[in-house]
Chains A and B, each alone.
Chain A
Amino acid sequence: MAWSRCVSTARYGICWVTWGLRAGGVRVTKAERAAAERFAERYRVAPAEVSRRVELAVIGGDWGANGYTTKQQADLLGRELGLGPGVRLLDLGAGRGWPGLYLAAATGCQVVLADVPIEALRAAAARARRELLAGRAAQVAASARALPFGRAVFDAIVHADVLC
């Protein structure tokens, strides 16, 4: 998928690409479907004030994340990837935008946020609009096993504790 098409979808909604019984020719396993449903349930509920307070204290962000990548570590990812204006970044398993949308805001790069739960991507799209990042951020609902992108689309790829 061309970068320009991904970016254009950010204004109208989320580019829903491959999730289904088969995703881009790859059969979705029961475990993947169960994980997707579990995460979707979690993302249906907006983070409460107490969750935001705890997240801010633990990882230094308020992205509705509950993992182990701190703000300091996200900044390190940005440096390792040489992110900056004009650089095209793909964040796999982006959830509500941590760390990909944060990195777009912090470095000026362009970002495509890919994940399965549409609820998380909606939250990321809303935040991108609020923070005036929508022109540099797109959301794609797709499994990492069957991504819909063409060759040589991205300058950098990041993920945080997704592929364990």
Chain B
Amino acid sequence: MLRPSGRTAFFTIHPAPGLTRAQRRRASRDGPIAVAAARPHRQLLQAAGFTQVTETDFTAEFAATTRAWLRHWDAGHADLVDLLGEQAFADRQTDRRAQLRAIEDGILARSLLTARRPDDQHRGRAR
């Protein structure tokens, strides 16, 4: 789909590097749906032939945004309960608090990855 020399850039939430098996399970449990990549995204991109792969840590920003969701949902409690119901509101906030704890404990991380598809004639050399 991506033309030669085309670029991809994406944010992804993932288990922090170097976790034990139990910690990885916690990352899957407490993170968003499908925090389940078997290998680091950088490796996956390189294995797919992408070049100029960069990874920038955005975990601090991830924590700040999670805190902001918690804070602003609490501020809008009455309206959101009217909209969603008390149980759905409570469940959502509970999930966010568990996620925030996992971030603060170094279990969950978020990164910006960028990469370039090599020109077709250079594909062999890029690998």
**How far apart are B90's CB and chain A's nearest CB, in angstroms?**
16
Contact of A159 among B3, B10, B62 (CB under 8 A): B10
- A residues contacting the other copy or chain, number (CB 8 A): 39
Q: Which B residues are CB-close (under 8 A) to A40?
A: none
The answer to whether A164 and B14 have CB atoms under 8 Å apart is yes
Our count of residue pairs bridging A and B at CB distance below 8 angstroms stands at 112
Contact B11 A73 (CB under 8 A): yes
Are B69 and A164 in contact, with the CB atoms below 8 A? no
- Indicate if A147 sits at the interface (CB-CB under 8 A): yes
For B3, give its contact among A76, A155, A160 (CB under 8 Å): A155
**Are A73 and B8 interface neighbours, CB within 8 A?**
no
A151 neighbours in B (Cβ, 8 Å): 1
> Nearest Cβ distance between residue A67 and chain B, in whole angstroms?
8
CB of A80 within 8 A of CB of B2, answer: no
Q: Are A80 and B7 in contact (CB under 8 A)?
A: yes
Would B76 and A50 count as touching, CB distance under 8 A? yes
A126 sits at the interface (CB 8 A):
no
B1 and A73 contact, CB distance less than 8 A: no
Q: Choose one: A51, A53, A152, A158; the contact of B10 (CB below 8 Å).
A: A158
Question: Which residues of B line the A interface, CB within 8 A?
Answer: 1-4, 6-14, 31-37, 41, 58, 61-62, 65-66, 68-69, 72-73, 75-76, 79-80, 83, 110, 112, 114
A-B contact pairs, 26 of them (CB 8 A): A48-B79, A54-B76, A58-B69, A59-B65, A68-B11, A70-B61, A76-B112, A77-B11, A80-B114, A149-B1, A151-B1, A152-B1, A154-B2, A154-B6, A155-B6, A157-B1, A157-B2, A158-B9, A159-B11, A160-B10, A161-B13, A161-B110, A164-B12, A164-B13, A164-B34, A164-B37
- Residues in A lying within 8 Å of B, measured CB to CB: 35, 48-51, 53-54, 57-59, 66-70, 73, 76-77, 80-82, 90, 147, 149-164
